[in-house]
Chain A
Amino acid sequence: MKKVIPPAVGLVLALCFPLVTTDPFILSLLIEAGVWAIAVMGFVAILRTGEFSLGQAAFMAIGGYASALVTINLGIPFWFGLVFAGIMAALVALALGVVVLRLGGIYFAIVTLVFGEIVRIVALNWQGLTRGATGLTPSAPGTIHIGSITIDFIASKVPFYYVIVLLVLVAAVVFWRADRSRLGRIFRSIASNETLAEHMGIHLMKYKVIIFVIAGFFTGIAGAFFCHFTLFMGPTTFDVWDSIMILIMGIVGGTSSVVLGPIIGALVLSAGGAYLTSALMVGMKPLVYGIIVIVVVVLLPGGLVDLGRYISRAPRISSLQGVKRHKKRGN
């Protein structure tokens, strides 16, 4: 019961936030942070199986194009577009994962990075389908009438806000369940000792592919949601830089938890980064991000999620124990 209280409080706070302000700028920041939070959860979940993906933004692109194309060309409602986007991204993740997860390690990192470029090149050159660099202009979800209540996605950002809170919640529950289940324990055993896990009869490939596909599914949905929110989908909407952004958010937030770290990382960096791009000059955002990730890796290897724990425990442990603790996590 105790464990349920902090997330529940967080959820209630998130749900009540529009009562505090409905300022479109602030809500937009939070909505985008929510999109990134889902993608980062996927990245962290994959990382916890011992693999390092540098191509997560490619699944956002696939989801975005899938949803934009079916909603524009076939007139399918946004909600089904969202599900279709998730399924398409999951299928691509399955095909890619079966081939590349066999190699693992540095090969996996390189091939996923390259995969992001492949998706961009296909999107840029397949003029007939994607309209190339011009991009697609998916529309916002249609107005919903429930009795006397009207939910209008164009007049206000609040409906979008609640949709993304719901999506983050669903993704968080799924990733959290996967992490706490027998599966999750297996993943941790993979990360700590692959050979031992394999000798104990655990089919590593199968579980790595499963988590890669789940991550692909939610990342695709996040990408689809984003393009219907910004009303644009082009080849550079999600590119290699965004994949690295996802990684940075994951590392800065902290990878010791599959839900809290990514949400903190996305909130701090996505919302903070949007502020930097709007308020300061070009180039400040990558500069600050670069410094943040290096400082976090060097000084706070557990990420921001560790900050509270670090401060509360600091008086009780000697500095030497602190070093040991981090080394253990680092390996």
Chain B
Amino acid sequence: MPPPVVWMDGLVLSSIYILIASGLVLVFSIMGIVNFAHGQLYMLGAFLIYYMFARAGINYFVSLVITAVAIGVLGVAIERGLLRPLAPKGLLPPVVVTLGLIFLFEGIATLFFGPEKKAVPSAVPGVSSIGALTVSNEKLLVVAIAIAVMVGLYFLVSHTKMGLAMRASAQDPYTASLYGVSRGRILSLTMFIGCALAGIAAALMAPLYYVDPWIGLTPLIMALLAIVIGGLGSVLGAVVGGALLGFSGTFLIYYLGPWSELAAFVIVIAVLLFRPEGIFGRPKA
């Protein structure tokens, strides 16, 4: 058994992966495309936190909410301005546009924010003791907020009328529209929630790591792996996949060192070979 500290780090990493992966999978389940710029939205969110919290000195929690809303609104702008007009042209053009956005956002970040690494101070300095385990308050905060957000998302999707409309539109947009569910509003709403989740993840992660224009790639890749493991289109799958990758990542780095990064890929290849639709995905008819 790894020491408790490693478990705690696994929990923190899992929280981040779950937030990013569930945003990505939510958008995929409604729109049918993977938003490859999701990691760069995360990166822009981290810069927002840096400028608001670390530079302007705005309260951390206020900064977090503003970041989530701002990234969500940016996501809606992308959906309305670029993805929706391209949707009739098939799946490829919108996907290529999201790949183009990767470069666009990184270019903007490099030009305007600079390529050097930036540090964000801890939002809640100090440490707490849980039994024999001493944990930094920052990590506790990450886990607490992530759990609160995911519970909120679960409630929203499965216990509200809005969530019912989203699920209906994901299953069958045409029939849902016959029952008065506006496809356009559902698309915007989903994109807002999905991207806001990336913003929240960025706000939580920034004080633990550094911020630069290229931090978006690793979270994107891990989130993609998580949703492949969990099953494309299933938020529950994204949660399980994210937790699996978060814990296995930290455990293996404890035992194997840098080679552990490969373990995640091995898990994915194994899942794809034996259960291509993912753990919670439905097999193709």
User: B109 to A111, Cβ gap below 8 A?
Assistant: no
The binding surface of chain B is classed by DSSP as helix
A292 to B103, CA, bound (A): 10
User: B100 to A290, Cβ gap below 8 A?
Assistant: yes
Give min CB distance, B90 to chain A, whole Å: 5
Of A110, A118, A121, A247, which is in contact with the most chain B CB atoms at under 10 Å from its CB? A110
User: A283 to B89, Cβ gap below 8 A?
Assistant: no
User: B276 to A297, Cβ gap below 8 A?
Assistant: no
Q: In A124-142, which residues have CB < 8 Å from any B CB?
A: 124-125
Give min CB distance, B85 to chain A, whole Å: 7
A100 to B268, CA, bound (A): 11
B93 close to A (CB within 8 Å):
yes
A286 to B92, CA, bound (A): 21
Give min CB distance, B274 to chain A, whole Å: 12
B95 close to A (CB within 8 Å):
yes
Closest chain A residue to B278 by CB distance?
A: A107
Stretch with Cβ within 8 A of B (4 or more), from A34-42, A314-322, A323-331:
A323-331
B210-245 to A contact mask, C-beta < 8 Å, 1/0: 000100010001001100100010000000000000
Stretch with Cβ within 8 A of A (4 or more), from B9-17, B157-165, B254-262:
B254-262
Size category, A interface: 35 or more
User: A283 to B110, Cβ gap below 8 A?
Assistant: yes
B151 close to A (CB within 8 Å):
no
A99 close to B (CB within 8 Å):
yes
A99-B272 contact in complex given A113-B221, A114-B221, A293-B99, C-beta closer than 8 Å: yes
B253 close to A (CB within 8 Å):
no
Choose one: A114, A288, A293; the contact of B224 (CB below 8 Å): A114
Closest chain A residue to B101 by CB distance?
A: A290
User: B100 to A283, Cβ gap below 8 A?
Assistant: no
A301 close to B (CB within 8 Å):
yes
User: A117 to B221, Cβ gap below 8 A?
Assistant: yes
A207 close to B (CB within 8 Å):
no
A285-B272 contact in complex given A247-B99, A293-B96, A297-B93, C-beta closer than 8 Å: no
A331 to B89, CA, bound (A): 6
Chain B residues positioned under 8 Å from A293 (CB to CB): 96-97, 99-100, 103
A186 close to B (CB within 8 Å):
no
Given contacts A99-B273, A114-B268, 9 further A-B contacts (CB under 8 A): A114-B225, A121-B262, A248-B99, A282-B110, A282-B115, A287-B108, A289-B107, A293-B97, A294-B104
15 A–B pairs (Cβ distance < 8 Å), ordered by A: A109-B34, A111-B272, A113-B221, A114-B265, A117-B265, A125-B259, A251-B96, A281-B111, A282-B110, A291-B100, A293-B99, A298-B82, A298-B85, A331-B89, A331-B90
10 tightest A-B CB contacts, nearest first: A287-B107, A290-B104, A283-B110, A330-B89, A293-B100, A290-B103, A286-B107, A283-B111, A286-B103, A294-B100
